[in-house]
Amino acid sequence: MKKLESFFQSKFFIMTGLGVVSFSYFVYVLFGQTIPNIISTFFKDIGEMIIIGAVFAFAFAWLLKTSPQKKPKKYIVIIFDVFGSKSNIQGIRTEFRIHDVAWSYMKQYKKFYPLHNFALVSDILKSKKKTILRYI
């Protein structure tokens, strides 16, 4: 009888031990792998969404900033004498439609007339006054 009782008692301890080991393995897998994997995947996805959102925000801001500007249609070269007052030199061209051409002419005029200063002026649409773009 004692052998039978001892057998059932050892079987009880073995079953209890197996139950504790399997439950602890379940808890270990749950808190050691499953939950951290879910959380890390969630935060990786959120991080990717934040980066993509930031890229689109900067791209949108860049597009707004680089919107086409309306360029002036007319450039005028104003001549100043040694004393700083406006003067007129006969025979030189003072009205241009292209900025680079006007700047090139201004540099050439400065070589021919070193005692005069030249200002490249334009009417910008948003401004009420004429704006000096370049001065030599």
pLDDT (tens digit per residue) in 6-31:
666 677 778 888 888 888 888 888 88
H helices of the chain, where? 2-29, 35-65, 99-112
Which among 130, 87, 131 has a CA at the least distance from the CA of 109?
A: 87
93 pLDDT more than 80: yes
Q: pTM for the complete prediction?
A: 0.48
Please report, for the chain, the start and end positions of each structural domain, with discontinuous segments joined by +.
1-67, 75-135
